[in-house]
Structure 1
Amino acid sequence: MALSSMTGFARSHGASGPYAFEWELKSVNAKGLDLRLRLPPGWDELEAHAKKRAGELLSRGTVYANFNVKRANALSAVRINEDVLAAVVKVAGQLAGKIDAVAPSVDGLLGIKGVIEVVEPESDEEEDRVAKAAAIAAFDEALQNLVAMRRREGIALGQVLLQRMDEIERLAKRAEAAPGRKPEAIRARLAEQVAALLEASERFDADRLTQEALLIAAKADIREELDRIASHIAQARELIGKGGPIGRRLDFLAQEFHREVNTCCSKSNDIELTNTGLEMKTVVEQFREQVQNLE
């Protein structure tokens, strides 16, 4: 199963009877799936189908779906509200006898709110039913196009993530081979610390000194962290190979990578090992940033 990104864009167009319409879908990153529809009045019944289909094909992402529709050859009719006009003329006549005013003009009367009414053309139920079915089909087309685009981006992201795994593996091998991890280097550091203790005090407990030396050696050992990093690399490669909605699981692995690399840096008392750990930390952060875009 292919990987999918959470970002994408798609459009579809359609027409039915007097209606011409367009769907525009855009998806961005999100923790879950959230479909946000914008529908014109009278087309609300499309919402149930849109949410159902989006839930079947998508797992994560905020999807903005805008539906625009125009009705061709449907001119609105202009009608005079005779009752309102008569009432306005009557009031004007009553005022004419009381005040010195110019008689109202035709355009002045027509400009009064309520005198002119714009009547929308009556719709045909069968035409509307067929048009809504066509709009649903157009939404499915746009959604399929969005899914296809997200998958194309997901494939590209998968290649980038595998490259990051290769880089982390290379740096982990460099850390393992660092001169500061060799027994002779550790012995030399311990000898320096023992000499410092002897110089500070002539009285010391030999057993305690041995225990402290062993403790220092144990704290400096990053074998356990390197083993866990190798295990995380194997898991990440396996997940990317299987595909599907794995974004959350890879994000968890990225956090585990970060924890182990931080521990390696904190244990390091060798400049080369520290620099390698910092490089690895940068690559882990790049990995996590890319994972945020996966479904």
Structure 2
Amino acid sequence: MNAITPIEAAEQPAADIVALFEADPKIVLTDKSKADAFFAAVKTEVEAHVPDLTTAKGREAIGSIAYKVTRSKTAIDKARLDLTSDLRKEVDRINKVGKEEEARYAALAAAARQPLTDWEAAEKARKARIQAAFDFLQSAPLAQPGDTSERLAARLAQVQAATFGDDFEAEHKEAAERLQRIAIDALTTAIERVKQAEKDAADLAAFRAAQAAQAAQAAAAAPTVQAEAAAPAAATENHVAPPAPPPPTASPSETAIILGRAKTGLMDVCGLDEDTAKRVVLAIARGQVANLTITRENAHVG
């Protein structure tokens, strides 16, 4: 059957095009001339209707003609869905296959790139290890709360044990070895300094303990000495003199001054080196040298 031309559609009776549409609404979607002819027929009918709002029948006629237009639109919509059903199914099929292919190619691309991905991860880990080594070497010599000679020695051992293998490129290895030497020197010096400070603290504690023991011994002997000294006077004067107060004990700061003066005196007068003079002073202070004591008076250096 030959398609109707636009001129023929315009000349075709409205009843014929309406009958064709009612038989198969798809004609307005597949033939533009028939779509125009049917729309013209519907429009003509709408325009030919004279609205009458004064009666219920007139108002009902208005609603009826609007309903006929809407019904035509609904029929066209249904025909459109029927015509495109297969197309939409094909689109869905194509989309499904497309997503499957996308996933397959994405997986293949990831597999192709895997060696580079693995290398990048290893390189990131290598750089992290290098940075951690630099951070440790830079922080190791720094003083930390609670540092003792033992803790410093343990840190020194860690620094000395550090190695810079395949992770380190030439320039990084050279820089790390330079930091390692600096850290070893700094920690070695710090250990010597802290050991000396620990020894000085132990010596000072021993001196204070000896001083306290001397003071206690002197206080215990004081009543006997005082009684012996007061006996002749008691016989002549018939009274007992009050006991003399025990000699005052030096404070820690005074003790340090007294020891320092005694050490300086031994160095100046006897020509002793500082370490020997210090050992002699501590031996006297601890009571290890018979008949010798250090007091405020005899520790004074002119």
TM over 0.5: no
What interval of TM-score do these two structures reach, taking the shorter chain for normalisation?
A: under 0.3
TM-score relative to the length of structure 1: 0.26
Larger helix proportion, structure 1 or 2?
2
Larger strand proportion, structure 1 or 2?
1
Which has more radius of gyration? Answer: 2
